[in-house]
Structure 1
Amino acid sequence: MNFRKKIRKKIYSGDNIMNLSDIRYLPRWIILLIDVFFIFLAISFSCYLIEKLSFSTQKVFYDGRYMYGLIVATSVVFMVAFRTYAGIIRHSTFIDLFKLFLATLCTAIVVGVISFSVRIVSGFRMIHMSVPFLAIFFASSFMLLFIFRLFVKEFFHIAREFRRSTLKKRILVLGIDEQSIAIARAILDNPNLPYHVVGFLTQRHDSKRAHLLGKPIFIKEKIERNTKEDLALDGVLIVKEMMAKNEMDSWVNLFLEKDLQVFKAPSVQKLRDSDFGMTIRNLQIEDLLNRKPIRIENEEVKKRHYKKSVLITGGAGSIGSEILRQVAQFDPEVIVVVDQAETPLYEIELEMRKSYPHIQFKFVLADISNIHRIEPLFEKYRFSMVYHAAAYKHVPMIEENPHEAILVNVLGSRNLATLSCKYKVNRFVMVSTDKAVKPTNVMGASKRAAELFVQALQNTEGNITKFITTRFGNVLGSNGSVIPHFKKQIEAGGPVTITHPDIVRYFMTIPEACDLVLQAGTMGKGGEIFVFDMGEPMKILDLATRMIKLSGFEPNSDIKIVFTGLRPGEKLYEELLSDDAKTMPTHNEKIMISKDPTMAYEEIEVFFKRIIRSAFRREKVEVVQILKEIVPEFKSNNSIYEVLDK
């Protein structure tokens, strides 16, 4: 009864594909019987062939029963002696083949000796034409036993490959150049990879009848004309480094339209057999947004950092930690990293001490608003470069707690800037944001206030520090940014939440942002605000739709998109330059200098003293009111502080 239940379950459940792991090995005695059967065939074939080759007209008599019995018995003896039946046939090796050779050879020799001896002693002929017969028997029996094992081995190999191919993703490799062919060959040569190369894809029309590596070449029009089901494809593999951004965008749009998954592989130069399977992965939205990074003037940057003392605030954050990694490449004498987030600071400490054991690091858990905690660092290390990346940046959170933004973004920046001036730091580079331009929220306004203070300090009497500000948009993959947030929502099955269908943002990668910071540190003369040419802005709705499709899902079918409404202080469009700002070019076409309105140091110092006192008293409304006096263009949007603008 249990057996019938198992059979019924096997028939009516599962994927109806034979699982070779369920096929048990045959008992060894059955293998021995099969081998004996092939010995019978070899004897019969040898007798038939000898009779056909015999030219004698005289009939020769011999007893076949004795011949069959002697040969089979001798074969079994040597099969048992050499254990030819003991190996698992589907895993046969050269050793198993050699055992068969020895067993059949010894059988032929022993049978020949016995037959000859019997004939000499008694005159009884057991085998007709014994020498030719035994030669034919040896060859035929060995070939039959060998072919049987070869057939079983190949059958299981083909069945195993078929099984694997049904479980693998069927993909096309984009391109017919040497790079694409090398990637395809690497996949074909590695049966453990979960990909099955169906063919190649190209825009060229002169190759549609040709084959590469035995695979057909598809043209773009074929993909456009057919559905995913008609093509019997799961996805397409691209080599990202081989294409321009516009070309890749065009291909990816086509693949997403056809619901094909898009995978990316490294270039051949980066290819290592040991981890090739790990380097093929789904194309990420960062790959589509990433542009050619700024080229850093390495010699100038190295000169600014080599054997120098460097301070990085916010060094455990997304931007600060990347600045830390890049600065460490230039062998400074000491790098002091300040952050108030304990666990991230510990994690970056472990990473940096492992990666750069020869560099002296000092990781300090501290709040930059506490000047008594920060000043001893300036006094002890006498910094040459200060990178100020510490800030509160989450718009809705800061809108709820404006006094906290003042303590960190305003007071903290003031502490660092004044200490840099006092201890004659060579260069002070502050990381700002595009939200500081015509701000609609407290976070952006607090960063604009910090920009004004840093610029005002540049022109104070006796100052030798060059104060430089860098301003850029949203950073891909940074803590709390939209892309990691969307990824988590997609992994959870949705919904993906967007505040407004028309909201638009600029994007850049973390390496790009940090390249800008380092470049600004070398090219700034003091008092500038550097802005980055961030290309075209992207609608967040388009971003979410592409991310869902790149993850292999259908928007609003598999993963819902829900609009939640603008958050307090949020605006539809971000800007990098204010209306009355004038831009000046630099020798790097991707970087411009924004000539924003400035404020005298004496004037902004009075404002700062007032707003800092209010922040310590937790006077939220008063804090925002003073902030609006410092930054007149600050107009609250979708916020309780809109009443202050009337």
Structure 2
Amino acid sequence: MFLRLAGLPRRIKILLMLFSDLVLLPLALWSSVALRMGTLSPDVASYIWLFFVVPFVTIPIFIRIGLYRAVIRYLDDKIIYTVFYGVTLSVLLLTAVIVMGRVSSIPRSSLIIYWIIAIAYIASSRFLARGLMRSLERFEDRRQPVAIYGAGRAGLQTALALMSGPEFRPVAFFDDNPEVQGTNVVGIRVFDPMEAIDVMKAKECRQLLIAMPSASRTRRKEIIQKFEREGVILKTLPGMGELVDGRVRIEDIREVGVEDLLGRDPVPPFEDLIKSCIRDKVVLVTGAGGSIGSELCRQIILNTPRKLILLEQAEFALYKIEQDILKHRINFEVVPILGDVLNSDHMEKLISRYGVQTVYHAAAYKHVPLVESNVIAGVMNNVFGTLAASRAAIKGNVETFVLISTDKAVRPTNVMGASKRLSELVLQGLAQDRKCSTRFCMVRFGNVLGSSGSVVPLFKEQIRNGGPVTVTHPEVTRYFMTIPEAAQLVLQAGSMGKGGDVFVLDMGESVKILDLAKKMIELSGLEVRDSVTGSGDISIEFTGLRPGEKLYEELLIGSNVSWTAHPRIMTASENCLEWDTLNKQLDELKNACLSGDDRVVRAILKALVPEYVQG
């Protein structure tokens, strides 16, 4: 019977609550008179009609103030204020009826007693109904229990969203604020985080949702570290900037990512730097469909260029980034161009036709093993693509040309790194010409999280498939930065360039890839398999360093580095080649590429980049 009651349509449930009020309101009036008279059988014959008037006076007020719109199972303590307001208005109207009806036989003080009892009866009926509904839900609820860290606004909205869904059932809140600990939020108890592990075990809950979108990365990291070895599956909400109008949706919830483990808060952008090369200018992004290129485009549109040109050789990647940009309400033109930076004539015509003022050159082959086995394609795209784009920029009087470089260009052990270092040397050589009006600069940084070819999505897929997680070497380390932060710093560094500058982004502390793999397994609620005992869920296997791969990466060739006005951007002073010498050897390198001689290409690379040591 009770299960049928829980499954009734909402309209029927509202009618049932209305019927209960029809009974409770006259009962409250009778109780108040009985208490005032001190007898269980007071004489009410002379004003019996008032017991019929009370519900017809009060229920319209309840309807008007929205008491019947509240969803019973999600009622919170605020319902008391609604009941208080409604009953108070009804008492005032009832008093007016008694005065105008000249009812002298009813004790006036019983109205005060009625006011108190009516509030108690109506509020209690709601809370009893809520308790019954939730008990029935728990009786047959097969949803997964989840705890929520953060009992603030985001936590409340998240709990309500989860409670109305078919997958998860919130069972506990944890909050650092002592004032809310021990209270109930939408019927869910708020606990001290120090009790979190015991509470979750008692409630058989293995999932924790961090609902603190405004918390710093440092604070998130502290919370994550508290739970990462406890077999708890951690999930989180995005930052406040990603939540629209403060509304939390189920699809906003994501697994805890590596960016939450970095523990480093991004520095707010310097608006004057980020806008100087973009605002009201024609901007070209090469490799616009790639990981960095697409994020550069997303950051650029926030700063209202006059026109944004997207150059990409992969059709689907170009289509995807164009559609992504057009989702935003923009008041400038977006021009998608299918093309190759190696096509010099196309680049010159493109820059001349649209009057390009700023170029962000992100087009490159970056996957180390693939470039190592495709030497000529890598050198052609990375070196001569940069050369073609930069010469077209000079010819088209482009104001600023920014090359996206990599930490693998520092003392490279692979063709990809050597080709990117040579690309830097090309721009440094071109910048030596005093007649050149184009400002060239390079921005060098390490790995970005979630980029194509990154270990993070690979590890996620391997964990999802039950393992093993493959790590090349137990001691390998890498620098990591989020894609949005990297793109934002690139835009700011580009504004600082004077000509031939090499900017290096502060990547923070390097991360041991083995530790990263272990943390990702633990954050998935699983255990790393012990190689000796065989206990655990996911094993880690070492595959050996790939061709051209280093144990660790560096960001600086020498020690001559100085800080800029931005706390995350440094500038390096490094040796470069005379343009006349470099230009001749570039011709030799191109001829070697066209003839298909990998050995000669590597030899010329070695001559031009002395730090290059084949791994």
Q: TM-score, normalised by structure 2?
A: 0.75
> 1:3: which partner in 2?
none
> 1:185: which partner in 2?
156
- The answer to whether the aligner puts 1:345 opposite 2:266 as a matched pair is no
> 1:592: which partner in 2?
570
> 1:330: which partner in 2?
303
Q: For residues 363-402 of structure 1, what are the structure 2 equivalents within 5 Å?
A: 363-402=336-375
Residue 94 of structure 1 aligns with an amino acid whose one-letter code is L
- Matched-pair contact (CA < 8 Å) for 1:312–1:336: yes
Residue 289 of structure 1 aligns with an amino acid whose one-letter code is L
Distance in 1 between the 2:274 and 2:21 partners?
Answer: 72
Question: Offset of 1:424 from its aligned partner?
Answer: 1.9
Residue 470 of structure 1 aligns with an amino acid whose one-letter code is V
Instruction: Provide Cα deviations, 1:256-284, integer angstroms capped at 9, x if missing partner.
Output: 11111223235789475864333333322
Q: For residues 200-211 of structure 1, what are the structure 2 equivalents within 5 Å?
A: 200-201=173-174, 210-211=182-183
> 2:552: which partner in 1?
573
Question: Secondary structure of 2:266's match?
Answer: coil
Instruction: Provide Cα deviations, 1:388-430, integer angstroms capped at 9, x if missing partner.
Output: 0000010000100111111100111111112222222111100
Question: Offset of 1:545 from its aligned partner?
Answer: 1.5
Question: Secondary structure of 2:461's match?
Answer: helix
Distance in 1 between the 2:553 and 2:345 partners?
Answer: 37
- The answer to whether the aligner puts 1:256 opposite 2:232 as a matched pair is no
| Rg larger for | 1
Residue 499 of structure 1 aligns with an amino acid whose one-letter code is T
Instruction: Provide Cα deviations, 1:465-484, integer angstroms capped at 9, x if missing partner.
Output: 11100000001111121112
Gaps of 5+ in 2: 24-44, 53-124, 530-535
Instruction: Provide Cα deviations, 1:461-515, integer angstroms capped at 9, x if missing partner.
Output: 4111111000000011111211122222222222221111111000001111111
> 2:585: which partner in 1?
607
Residue 543 of structure 1 aligns with an amino acid whose one-letter code is L
* CA separation of 1:316 and 1:168: change in aligned 2, threshold 3 A: same
* CA separation of 1:207 and 1:259: change in aligned 2, threshold 3 A: farther
Distance in 2 between the 1:161 and 1:99 partners?
Answer: 22
Residue 287 of structure 1 aligns with an amino acid whose one-letter code is D
Distance in 2 between the 1:582 and 1:344 partners?
Answer: 39
- Matched-pair contact (CA < 8 Å) for 2:285–2:361: yes
* CA separation of 1:626 and 1:220: change in aligned 2, threshold 3 A: same
Distance in 1 between the 2:486 and 2:180 partners?
Answer: 43
Distance in 2 between the 1:262 and 1:494 partners?
Answer: 19
> 1:478: which partner in 2?
451
* CA separation of 1:568 and 1:187: change in aligned 2, threshold 3 A: closer
What fraction of aligned residue pairs are identical, expressed as a percent?
36
- Matched-pair contact (CA < 8 Å) for 1:391–1:408: yes
Question: Offset of 1:332 from its aligned partner?
Answer: 2.2
Distance in 2 between the 1:460 and 1:371 partners?
Answer: 20
Question: Secondary structure of 1:311's match?
Answer: strand
> 1:161: which partner in 2?
137
Distance in 1 between the 2:381 and 2:200 partners?
Answer: 53
Distance in 1 between the 2:464 and 2:290 partners?
Answer: 24
> 2:59: which partner in 1?
none
Question: Offset of 1:88 from its aligned partner?
Answer: 8.3
1:628 to 596, 606, 609: 606
> 1:105: which partner in 2?
none
Q: TM-score, normalised by structure 1?
A: 0.71
> 2:502: which partner in 1?
529
* CA separation of 1:605 and 1:19: change in aligned 2, threshold 3 A: farther
Distance in 2 between the 1:562 and 1:19 partners?
Answer: 54
Distance in 2 between the 1:440 and 1:584 partners?
Answer: 26
Instruction: Provide Cα deviations, 1:95-147, integer angstroms capped at 9, x if missing partner.
Output: 79769999xxxxxxxxxxxxxxxxxxxxxxxxxxxxx9xx9xx99xxxxxxxx
Distance in 1 between the 2:422 and 2:214 partners?
Answer: 44
Distance in 1 between the 2:493 and 2:9 partners?
Answer: 69
Distance in 2 between the 1:242 and 1:334 partners?
Answer: 33
- Matched-pair contact (CA < 8 Å) for 1:399–1:442: yes
Q: For residues 78-97 of structure 1, what are the structure 2 equivalents within 5 Å?
A: 91-94=12-15
- Matched-pair contact (CA < 8 Å) for 2:364–2:382: yes
Distance in 2 between the 1:567 and 1:441 partners?
Answer: 10
> 1:563: which partner in 2?
542
- The answer to whether the aligner puts 1:407 opposite 2:385 as a matched pair is no
Residue 568 of structure 1 aligns with an amino acid whose one-letter code is P
Question: Secondary structure of 1:355's match?
Answer: coil
* CA separation of 1:164 and 1:527: change in aligned 2, threshold 3 A: farther
Question: Offset of 1:625 from its aligned partner?
Answer: 0.9
> 2:479: which partner in 1?
506
Residue 350 of structure 2 aligns with an amino acid whose one-letter code is L
Residue 307 of structure 1 aligns with an amino acid whose one-letter code is D
* CA separation of 1:91 and 1:447: change in aligned 2, threshold 3 A: same
Question: Offset of 1:247 from its aligned partner?
Answer: 3.5
Residue 360 of structure 1 aligns with an amino acid whose one-letter code is E
Residue 236 of structure 1 aligns with an amino acid whose one-letter code is L
> Which shows bigger deviation, 350-359 or 625-634?
350-359
Question: Offset of 1:517 from its aligned partner?
Answer: 1.3
Distance in 1 between the 2:491 and 2:553 partners?
Answer: 24
Q: For residues 42-121 of structure 1, what are the structure 2 equivalents within 5 Å?
A: 91-94=12-15
Instruction: Provide Cα deviations, 1:355-382, integer angstroms capped at 9, x if missing partner.
Output: 2553222221111112122221122223
- Matched-pair contact (CA < 8 Å) for 2:439–2:500: yes
> Which shows bigger deviation, 616-625 or 297-306?
297-306
1:234 to 180, 184, 206: 206
Residue 548 of structure 2 aligns with an amino acid whose one-letter code is G
Gaps of 5+ in 1: 1-17, 26-86, 103-131, 140-148, 175-179, 638-646
* CA separation of 1:369 and 1:155: change in aligned 2, threshold 3 A: closer
Question: Secondary structure of 1:185's match?
Answer: helix
Instruction: Provide Cα deviations, 1:194-248, integer angstroms capped at 9, x if missing partner.
Output: 44444443568x7798434465554454457x59635633233324444444443
Residue 428 of structure 2 aligns with an amino acid whose one-letter code is Q
Question: Offset of 1:620 from its aligned partner?
Answer: 0.8
Distance in 2 between the 1:89 and 1:416 partners?
Answer: 65
- Matched-pair contact (CA < 8 Å) for 2:283–2:358: yes
Question: Secondary structure of 2:228's match?
Answer: helix
* CA separation of 1:349 and 1:265: change in aligned 2, threshold 3 A: closer
> Which shows bigger deviation, 90-99 or 550-559?
90-99
Residue 433 of structure 1 aligns with an amino acid whose one-letter code is T
Question: Offset of 1:164 from its aligned partner?
Answer: 6.3
Distance in 2 between the 1:624 and 1:458 partners?
Answer: 26
> 2:422: which partner in 1?
449
* CA separation of 1:615 and 1:197: change in aligned 2, threshold 3 A: same
Instruction: Provide Cα deviations, 1:541-576, integer angstroms capped at 9, x if missing partner.
Output: 111122222223222232222211110000110000
Question: Offset of 1:589 from its aligned partner?
Answer: 1.8
Distance in 1 between the 2:423 and 2:14 partners?
Answer: 75
Distance in 2 between the 1:236 and 1:585 partners?
Answer: 41
Question: Secondary structure of 1:322's match?
Answer: helix
* CA separation of 1:192 and 1:220: change in aligned 2, threshold 3 A: closer
1:171 to 124, 147, 163: 147
- Matched-pair contact (CA < 8 Å) for 1:500–1:566: yes
Distance in 1 between the 2:593 and 2:420 partners?
Answer: 15
Aligned pair count reads 512
Instruction: Provide Cα deviations, 1:303-322, integer angstroms capped at 9, x if missing partner.
Output: 43233222111011111111
* CA separation of 1:517 and 1:19: change in aligned 2, threshold 3 A: farther
Q: Let me know the Cα RMSD of the aligned residues.
A: 3.6
Q: For residues 293-312 of structure 1, what are the structure 2 equivalents within 5 Å?
A: 293-312=266-285
Distance in 2 between the 1:349 and 1:98 partners?
Answer: 58
